[in-house]
Amino acid sequence: MLGQSADPPVDFPAVSPVRAAFACRCPRCGEGRLFAGLLSVRPACEVCRLDLSAQDARDGPAVFAILLLGMLVVGLAAFVEIGFSPPIWVHLLLWAPLILVGAVAMLRPLKAGLIALQYRHRLLGNPPSG
């Protein structure tokens, strides 16, 4: 018939957006890898074939990473400054690597989480019914 797929629809169990975010997995099946590179999203899930080309996390992950890292680093820097009063170069030595490594480490799960939330709230692909 026209407009119908040859494959019967598969009922996927609900995947927690938190689990999908931390594992960087497909928001529908929870099995397929979400990223092809560091932050490049695959065009489709390799397991369930969910079309991921329509995903659009935009600057959301970067904003959340900046806010979270900002709170952490400012709090730690204030603690170190008040407790030890080190010279400014010690602060640079301590906080610059933390910010760089923290930002890279946080971007993947934050982007995966926003994509999972888009899927969960019917903004991407065919979300689970109910």
6 vs 1: CA distance, rounded Å: 9
Domain count, the chain: 1
pTM: 0.82
Q: Classify residue 113: in a domain, yes or no.
A: yes
Q: Classify residue 6: in a domain, yes or no.
A: no
pLDDT digits (tens, 9 = 90+) for 101-126: 999 999 999 999 999 998 888 765 55
Q: Classify residue 101: in a domain, yes or no.
A: yes
31 vs 122: CA distance, rounded Å: 20
Write out the residue range of the structural domain in which residue 97 sits.
17-120
Residue 14 is classified by DSSP as P
pLDDT digits (tens, 9 = 90+) for 48-84: 999 998 888 889 999 999 999 999 999 999 999 999 9
Q: Classify residue 130: in a domain, yes or no.
A: no
Residue 18 is classified by DSSP as H
Q: Classify residue 25: in a domain, yes or no.
A: yes
Sign of CA dihedral 75, 78, 79, 80: positive
